[in-house]
């Protein structure tokens, strides 16, 4: 076809090219609102979840409590003579491992010694609820091998944030949990504490029958079967936020009584108290832990909550103020570039 056949043809036009607009930025104030929402969420989580988990007793524990009783009197069962003015030491050891997510299995021993001579020993296994501090009847619990026992009540520490009312505290020797009565608020090593008292009147110790010289009870010959009887008054000083026992004393009296007869003989008469070095250490530990729990429960949430609310409010105000700057006529539209029709050079004369 010749070039002259193109004369008079309308110029060809090319289709318009469409380019998307650049990616839009987040609305103003979005970052402030996001930060504020995070702070408010943390303010709610800390007291209602985090603090509760931190307040639990640890699953893995290793405790050793030493109580001293200077000037005590006890019956030396090797010679069956009274020993007066003796310095006794009573050591409680507890080794625990996590038993599931909520319990801890403790192996405990208690040894009473006089001049490196053990005058009393007993052991137990107990499952402790990490939230309540109380015994759980489960999983091979025993006292001195007696698996028929059903331990109940507090084992060592009180639960965190416990009310000041009365509680029950298990005594493995008499297989019972006498009440522990709140007495008054007190102070130990500069730490505010609550004082509780547990009293036990003369009670026969289960499975304590043994043969002893009849001469102990005035008879001249042979042996008689006697049982051990126990009475005590224990005092606990408890830091209420953590539930930690920071001091403990015990006035203890043990006697031997014949099963089929009258009379009694003193087996032990002592006033035990937690060693002074341990009292200061336990008090300091409770003080630090109480600060952490108070921070998670009150101080930090009441700081983060208002800060988060202010951040959210600031973000909303910033977003509202920025709205007039937007042009709604161009929202959601693409930029269009149209080509102007250009005559085909082939159509020139």
CB of 151 within 8 A of CB of 140? no
Please state the domain extents for the chain.
58-297
Q: How confident is the model at residue 14 (pLDDT cuts 50, 70, 90)?
A: low
Q: β-pairing, 210-213 with 61-76?
A: unpaired
pLDDT surpasses 90 at 168:
yes
- Which range of 49-63, 162-176, 227-241 scores highest in mean pLDDT? It is 227-241
Convert the pLDDT of each residue in 272-283 to its tens digit: 999 989 999 999
Between CA 200 and CA 312 the distance in angstroms is: 60
Of 232, 258, 254, 236, nearest to 245 by C-alpha is 236
CB atoms under 10 Å from CB of 114, counted, come to 19
CB of 325 within 8 A of CB of 27? no
Between CA 304 and CA 41 the distance in angstroms is: 9
CB of 238 within 8 A of CB of 211? no
pLDDT surpasses 90 at 343:
no
Rounded average pLDDT over 186-204: 96
pLDDT surpasses 60 at 305:
yes
| φ/ψ (deg, to 5) at 339 | -90, 135
Burial of 321 (0-12, 13-18, 19+ CB in 10 A): exposed
Rounded average pLDDT over 311-325: 78
CB of 333 within 8 A of CB of 21? yes
Rounded average pLDDT over 94-114: 95
pLDDT surpasses 50 at 42:
yes
Supply the pLDDT for residue 286: 96
Which residue blocks in the chain are alpha helix, DSSP H? Answer: 30-45, 51-55, 276-294, 300-322
Q: How confident is the model at residue 102 (pLDDT cuts 50, 70, 90)?
A: very high
Between CA 49 and CA 12 the distance in angstroms is: 73
Lowest mean pLDDT among 5-14, 35-44, 236-245, 265-274: 5-14
Between CA 38 and CA 34 the distance in angstroms is: 6
Supply the pLDDT for residue 4: 44
11 vs 259: which has the higher pLDDT: 259
Rounded average pLDDT over 142-165: 93
E strand or H helix at 113 = strand 103-114
Between CA 133 and CA 286 the distance in angstroms is: 16
DSSP labels, 289-325: HHHHHHIIIIIHHHHHHHHHHHHHHHHHHHHHHHGGG
Helices 300-322, 30-45: axis angle to 10 degrees equals 160
Tell me the average pLDDT of the chain. 86
67-94 burial, b if ≥16 CB within 10 A, otherwise e? bbbeebbbbeeeeeeebeebebbbeebb
296-312 burial, b if ≥16 CB within 10 A, otherwise e? bbeebbeebbeebeebb
CB of 233 within 8 A of CB of 199? yes
pLDDT surpasses 90 at 27:
no
């Amino acid at each position: 076809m010749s070039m002259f056949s193109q004369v008079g043809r309308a110029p060809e036009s090319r289709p318009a090219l469409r380019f998307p607009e650049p990616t839009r930025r987040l609305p103003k104030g979005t970052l402030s609102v996001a930060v504020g929402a995070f702070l408010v969420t943390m303010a709610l989580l800390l007291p209602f979840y985090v603090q509760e988990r931190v307040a639990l007793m640890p699953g893995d524990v290793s405790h050793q409590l030493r109580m001293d009783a200077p000037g005590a009197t006890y019956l030396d069962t090797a010679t069956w003579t009274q020993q007066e003015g003796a310095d006794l030491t009573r050591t409680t050891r507890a080794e625990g491992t996590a038993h599931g997510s909520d319990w801890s299995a403790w192996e405990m021993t208690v040894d009473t010694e006089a001049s490196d001579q053990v005058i009393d020993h007993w052991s137990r296994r107990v499952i402790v609820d990490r939230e309540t501090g109380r015994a759980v009847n489960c999983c091979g619990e025993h006292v001195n091998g007696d698996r028929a026992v059903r331990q109940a009540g507090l084992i060592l520490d009180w639960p965190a944030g416990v009310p000041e009312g009365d509680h029950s505290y298990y005594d493995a020797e008499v297989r019972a949990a006498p009440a522990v009565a709140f007495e008054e608020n007190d102070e130990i090593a500069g730490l505010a504490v609550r004082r509780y008292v547990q009293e036990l009147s003369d009670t026969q110790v289960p499975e304590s029958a043994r043969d002893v010289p009849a001469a102990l009870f005035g008879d001249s010959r042979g042996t008689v079967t006697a049982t051990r009887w126990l009475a005590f008054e224990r005092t606990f000083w408890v830091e209420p936020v953590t539930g930690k026992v920071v001091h403990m004393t015990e006035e203890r009296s043990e006697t031997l009584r014949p099963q089929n007869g009258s009379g009694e003989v003193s087996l032990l008469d002592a006033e035990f108290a937690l060693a002074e070095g341990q009292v200061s250490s336990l008090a300091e530990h409770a003080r630090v832990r109480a600060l952490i729990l108070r921070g998670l429960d009150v101080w930090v949430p009441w700081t983060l909550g208002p800060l988060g609310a202010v951040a959210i409010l600031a973000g909303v105000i910033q977003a509202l103020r920025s709205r007039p700057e937007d042009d709604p006529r161009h929202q959601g539209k693409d930029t269009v570039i149209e080509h102007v029709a250009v005559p085909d050079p082939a159509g020139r004369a």
